[in-house]
Amino acid sequence: MKESVSRVRLFDGPLDLSWRHCATTSDFIADLFALRFQSSRNDYMEVRHSIGYLANELIENAVKFRAPGEIVIEASMDSECFKLKVSNDVDGENASEFQSLLADITVGDPKDLLIQRIEANAANPDVGHSGLGLLTLMSDYGARLAWIFSSADENDRICLETYASIPISQTQN
């Protein structure tokens, strides 16, 4: 991310990180980056929604599957796309499960895979890691996603960096 980057850190502490932090943080990021589109209500609402959905999905995943510690969110936007990077630590078991899920949901057409996953979840609702949020981002929002897993320390912790970008365009008036 070479553009001007905005960074937010969610610290683990006495209040514990929870779902409400995900929504609050993603709303803040969406509001901040959608401001440049405020001259057109439709553009503003569309951009705010897309950024908010992307940020919320990735931050929720980081909160849900993290090992204790902070979550760092970095965001930037140029004239064509919004970029987001979410970094957090996960334990080795969660990293392995997530890598297996990624192997399943990143091969093939996202729209087809999304339908298959929805059907599979309807048949077996107890599936823990469905990938529906990530597939929705790829299928419906045109998100491009990437992940880097690297050793964080000797205690079976893995640093997970999730990268995402979505196209942003302003309607010509």
Secondary structure class of 18 (helix, strand, coil): coil
In this structure, is residue 130 part of a structural domain?
no
Domain presence at residue 173? no
Bin 88: left if φ > 0, else alpha if -120 < ψ < 50, else beta.
beta
Tell whether 138 is covered by a domain: no
Report yes or no on 117 lying in a domain. no
The mean pLDDT value of the chain amounts to: 89
Give the chain's domain count.
1
Residue ranges of the chain with per-residue pLDDT less than 70: 1-3, 13-17, 127-129, 152-154, 170-173
Axis crossing angle, helix 110-123 with helix 92-105, rounded to the nearest 10? 120
Q: Taking the model in full, what pTM does it have?
A: 0.89
pLDDT at 127: 66
- CATH number of the domain at 51, please: 3.30.565
Residue 137 lies in a domain: no
Distance of CA 114 to the CA centre of its chain: 16
